[in-house]
Amino acid sequence: MTEQQTILLVDDSENDLVLMKTAFRKADFTTPLQIVHNGEEAIAYLSGQGQYSNRIQFPLPAVILLDLNMPMKNGFDVLDWLRSKPALHKRIPTIVLTASARPEDVERAFDLGANSYLVKPGALEDLIAMIRCLRDWLRINHFPPLNQYVKK
Amino acid sequence: MAEKQTNDWSSLCLAFTEHAPLPMATVEGATHIVRYANPAFCSLMSKPAEQLIGRPLSELLPEKDQCVSLLDRVFRTGKPESHTEQEQSKPHPIFWSYTMWPVLADERLVGVIIQVTETAKFHGKTVAMNEALMLGAVRQHELVEAGERLNARLEQEITERKQAEKELQKAKAALADEAVLLERLVAERTAELTSTNKQLEAFVYSIAHDLRAPLRAMQGFSETLVNDEGPALSEAGQDYVKRIRDSARYMDALLSDLLAFASITQQRIELAPTNLQPIVEAVLSRLEKDIAEKHALVETTGPWPVVMAHAPTLSQVLFNLLSNALKFVRPGVQPQIRVRAEEALVQPGFVRVWVEDNGIGIAPEHQEQIFRLFLRLHRDAYEGTGVGLAIVQKGVERMGGSLGVESSTERGSRFWFDLRKAEQH
């Protein structure tokens, strides 16, 4: 992925969002973040509805960091929705980042097409290390084009 | 020869009449002269035979005796006659039965044989017989009654037995119903319990996660405060923030361990043949940072048998034992740890895994307690939550194994656990 692309952060906890932003900054991960607070907003963003209709302002993300336990629609609903969509949305790598380490949740997330499952660490330094790792992981991966696909 | 036979026959007949109990006599001619009387006849007439023989019978009998006219008739007709006559002179009536039949010589009637029977004896006997018959009848009646009573009782008993059988069947049916009910109750209770268990599990998770969210914030922001804003704070302020951070960290560790303990207690554990070597290696690689920081010497000694285990649980057990071995060392001492496996000597078919260290050891009086939840022997000197060994014990037990420790404060600790050896195919 390129530095210009966007990461969509889906989380309902303001504290976690601030910590995440801090961790991104400290990990020198400068890719712009787009933030939504629940599953419903995430689906609206991804389908370009309402306030998210401007794709230049709200581009399709290169990767989604998805919390599971959220009000309105939760992370599983988002995964379910993504899977039901055509290739465009299905292609977006989706990383679950949650407090839950329940085996059932891990199984369900992967069954619904999650590409990775991360548990929020307690210590900030661990979170920084995780974000750094994520950055490196994204750098070494090859992903199918998204915006180009839209133009066709 | 024929003569002799006839003589023999006559003497035989004479012997019969002589010994017969019935009075018998033979009379001859129209005047009925007695020619023969047997002893029974003599005794009936109460006279010896000499006074009877040669005399007409009519002289010997009481008057009005019909016997003589009967004799005349037989003599005249040549046909046998019988007659019964009642004698009224005795207090009990006596019946006399006469039977008379003609004696023929060359087809000419010469005399009559008389046979007299006193039927009173028969009468008495008949009465007695009648009585006996009556008694018999009564007895029979009694027997019939007794039989009927017996039958009635049998019928009653049969009815009762049938009733009892019916009751028994009813009871059996009730019992079956009860069993079905019990089974359903057990199923219901099991379902309830399972549901309660699930709820409890969900509760533990949600508590842990909900508690963790604010904790993460406390931890994260206190860390940021210490790191980024530290210089702006006074020394005391820095100390306070560090205390908040450390407490939050400790609470986080506690929650992690509690979750691990809950999961090892509740999760479904299926045992499968598990190779020890890759598990030991994976655990050591997870502890790599710790090992490097403490310059620890870790020796793993094969060969590693295949055991019946649940891989994640076995990893957790080994991880906790090894991180303890790394943690509980005296300051300035290089941790020396040895991990090895051997055939369990005391338990055939089991493999004993040893984790040996040169740490601070456990005093004999504490060796019993160390597996208890939240027990911490060294609260101040060493970090910890007191859950690690409880997880180890629970994990080993859930895999059907046993565990223990040999330790002294001089030489360090040797923790061991036994797991069933996998069958080699």
Q: Hey, are the CB atoms on A124 and B224 less than 8 Å from each other?
A: yes
Cβ separation B267–A103 shorter than 8 A? yes
- pTM value is 0.53
Q: Could you tell me the CA-to-CA distances from B75 to B60, B322, B330, B384 in Å, in that order?
A: 18, 149, 160, 152
Per-residue pLDDT for A151 more than 60? no
**Are A15 and B219 an interchain contact pair (Cβ–Cβ within 8 Å)?**
no
Given a contact cutoff of 8 angstroms between Cβ atoms, the answer to whether B116 and B23 are in contact is yes
DSSP state letter for A120: P
User: Among all residues of chain B, which has the CA nearest to that of A102?
Assistant: B205
Question: Looking at the domain that runs over A7-144, which CATH code has it been given?
Answer: 3.40.50.2300
- Taking alpha carbons only, the member of B386, B224, B283, B353 closest to residue A21 is B224
What pLDDT does B51 receive?
86
Residue A69 confidence (pLDDT): 87
For the ranges A35-39, A68-72, B4-8, B206-210, the maximum mean pLDDT occurs at A35-39
CATH number of B2-118: 3.30.450.20
pLDDT band for position A71 (cuts 50, 70, 90): confident
- List chain A domain ranges: 7-144
Domain B269-420 listed as CATH 3.90.1150.10: no
Q: Where are the domains positioned within chain B?
A: 2-118, 269-420
CA distances from B153 to B144, B147, B159, B160 (A): 14, 9, 9, 10
Would an 8 Å CB–CB cutoff place B230 in contact with chain A? Answer: no
Tell me whether residues B220 and A99 touch, CB distance under 8 A.
no
Task: Using alpha carbons only, give the angle B239, B240, B246 rounded to the nearest 5 degrees.
Answer: 85
* Nearest alpha carbon to residue B123 among B82, B80, B81, B90: B90
Query: Residue B134 corresponds to which tokens in the numbers above?
Result: 């009556």
Q: Would you tell me how many other CB atoms lie within 10 Å of the CB of residue A120?
A: 23
Q: For position A3, what pLDDT does the model report? A: 46
Q: What pLDDT is recorded for position A146?
A: 67
CA distance B149 to B11: 61
Contact A65, A95 (CB under 8 A): yes
Task: Identify which has the larger pLDDT, A87 or A17.
Answer: A17
Q: Is A126 exposed, middle or buried (0-12, 13-18, 19+ CB in 10 A)?
A: middle
pLDDT in tens, B396-412: 999 999 999 998 888 89
Instruction: Please state whether the peptide bond connecting residue A103 to the residue before it is cis, i.e. omega within 30 degrees of 0.
Output: no
pLDDT value of residue A150? 46
CB contact at 8 A, B392 and B261? no
User: pLDDT-derived band of residue A152, with 50, 70 and 90 as boundaries?
Assistant: very low
Write out residues in chain B with pLDDT < 50, as ranges.
Answer: 1-2
Backbone angles phi, psi at A79, to 5 degrees: -60, -45
b/e B175-190 (16+ beta carbons within 10 angstroms → b): eeeeeeeeeeeeeeee
* B interface test, pick of A100, A104, A105 with most B CB neighbours within 10 Å: A100
Average pLDDT, rounded, for chain A: 86
Average pLDDT of the segment spanning A135-142 = 87
Return the amino acid letter for A72. M
Question: What sign has the CA pseudo-torsion B107, B109, B110, B113?
Answer: positive
| pLDDT tens-place string over residues A4-15 | 578 999 999 888
Residue B93, pLDDT score: 61
Strand order of the sheet with strand A116-119?
A33-36, A7-10, A63-66, A94-98, A116-119
State the pLDDT confidence band at A80, using cuts at 50, 70 and 90.
Answer: very high
Q: What is the pLDDT of residues B300-333, one digit of tens each?
A: 987 888 999 999 899 999 999 999 999 988 888 8
For chain A, the farthest-separated pair of C-alpha atoms sits apart, in whole angstroms, at 45
What backbone phi and psi angles, to 5 degrees, belong to B226?
-60, -45
Q: Count other C-beta atoms under 10 Å from residue B348's C-beta.
A: 8
Looking at residue A9, its pLDDT comes to: 96
Distance CA A103, CA A112 (A): 14
Please give the ipTM for the structure prediction: 0.71
Q: What is the DSSP letter of B219?
A: H
What is the structure's pLDDT at B1? 47
Higher per-residue pLDDT: A111 or B61: A111
Q: Do B224 and A69 touch (CB under 8 A)?
A: no
CA–CA distance, B26 with B37 (Å, rounded to integer): 7
Residue pair B422/B308 in contact by the 8 Å Cβ criterion: yes
pLDDT tier for residue A148 given thresholds of 50, 70 and 90: very low
Rounded Cα gap, residues A101 and B212, in angstroms: 12
What DSSP element (H or E) covers B230?
none
Chain B 163-222, CB below 8 Å of chain A: which residues? Answer: 205, 209, 212-217, 219-221
Which among B54, B58, B61, B21 is positioned nearest to B39, based on CA atoms?
B21
Structural contact between residues B269 and B384, judged by C-beta atoms closer than 8 angstroms: no
